Amino acid sequence: MSTQSNLEGAYLAQGTIGNVGMSGAPVVNFSFVVVPSQHKVTGSVHVTQAIQNGNYSGQVTGTIYATGFGSVTQVVAIKGMIHSDGDMPIEIPFEAHLAIDGSWNGTGGFAYANTHIENVPVVSKK
């Protein structure tokens, strides 16, 4: 028995979630493989914040759906576990949600540990 997965239309999406350039603000850098035909998103996130032990990285999975809501053409929800890039060997849950256009620009939010960020820019990496 052979199993084939339908990866037709798969693409790479990269960018940021957060107020880039705002001193001390947490920012998420993401790199996702998106398979719209399966409504799946998988990839990695890297959270940076200008505080001690403020950087985290991890793998995430999620879903993507078309909306039909004007300029917001897609919604994405992801979750996974991230771990500290510092000396503290901790792993914590991470979640993010995005309301974006076809170019992966829009608005979103994310949460990890005691940090909850809402209504921040989502900007694709050119």
Instruction: Render pLDDT for 76-108 as a digit per residue (tens, 0 to 9).
Output: 999 999 998 877 778 999 999 999 999 999 999
- Percentage of the chain lying above the pLDDT 70 cut: 92
Provide the residue ranges of all domains of the chain, joining segments of one domain with +.
Answer: 11-124
CB burial of 4-42 (b: ≥16 within 10 Å; e: otherwise) equals eeeeeeeeebebbbbeeeeeeebbbbbebebbeeeebbe
Q: What is this structure's pTM?
A: 0.89
**92/49 Cα distance (integer angstroms):** 16
User: What pLDDT is attached to residue 53?
Assistant: 64
User: What pLDDT is attached to residue 2?
Assistant: 41
Whole-number average pLDDT of the chain: 91
